[in-house]
Structure 1
């Protein structure tokens, strides 16, 4: 495996900003570090954009946890029964859970 060459930056630029200007820069930057964002923006290099994830809704997480528990119970039941009727019931429950998950996804993925 080849390592990336280390870039040693020795030149330093200092600027003074108002609190509002500094906050505006922080809000615009994409990535982890302000210096990297400024360098990429000013020198027009291509950014490795990081995904911005939404904050998870506690109700959504709780609902998904309950559904996960139901899935585990159904999977355990489906693996232990020999009756075709019971397996069909388990598959029907799985279909119901799938539709519930789709409704949740449609509601929260806006």
Structure 2
């Protein structure tokens, strides 16, 4: 698979429009960025559509990151040590606690699965 070479756009075009014309252009591009839309419309270039990534609450990201760190620590210990039945039960209890925490976080932030 060959990688496409990134196009570097060095030239710019400045045009003056009225407020009404600007709003008409924004309305026509359906919420996309104006410059790529104009290139596509005027030059016939096909641009890849970027997925709209929803904004996520930073507190949610911190909580999920903490859970991920806990899970990684558990996985590291499990993979590097020999475990007897008691230790396996402790690990399962910790995993169950992480699952409960995740459930609480999802409920707080109304995350649908």
TM-score between the two structures when normalised by the length of structure 2: 0.55
CA shift at 1:109, angstroms? 5.4
Question: Deviation string for 1:15-72 (max 9, x for gaps)?
Answer: 64223542561873425xx233124346777542101112231110120122123213
Q: Which runs of 5+ in 2 are unaligned?
A: 8-12
CA shift at 1:90, angstroms? 0.9
**Structure 1 consecutive aligned stretches of length 4 or more whose deviation exceeds 4 Å:** 1-4, 13-16, 41-47
The 3-state SS of whatever aligns with 2:17 is coil
Q: Indicate the residue corresponding to 1:63 in structure 2.
A: 63
Q: Which runs of 5+ in 1 are unaligned?
A: 7-12
Q: Indicate the residue corresponding to 1:97 in structure 2.
A: 98
- CA RMSD across the alignment: 4.0
Question: Deviation string for 1:52-107 (max 9, x for gaps)?
Answer: 11223111012012212321332243243521221132134224424543564572
* Larger RCO (CA under 8 A, 6+ residues apart): 2
Q: 1:96/1:20 Cα in 2 relative to 1: closer, same or farther (>3 Å)?
A: farther
Q: Distance in 2 between matches of 1:3 and 1:54?
A: 28
Alignment of 1:1-110 (within 5 A): 1=2, 16-19=16-19, 21-22=21-22, 25=26, 28-31=30-33, 34-41=34-41, 47-78=47-78, 79-98=80-99, 100-101=101-102, 104-105=105-106, 107-108=110-111
Q: 1:76/1:46 Cα in 2 relative to 1: closer, same or farther (>3 Å)?
A: closer
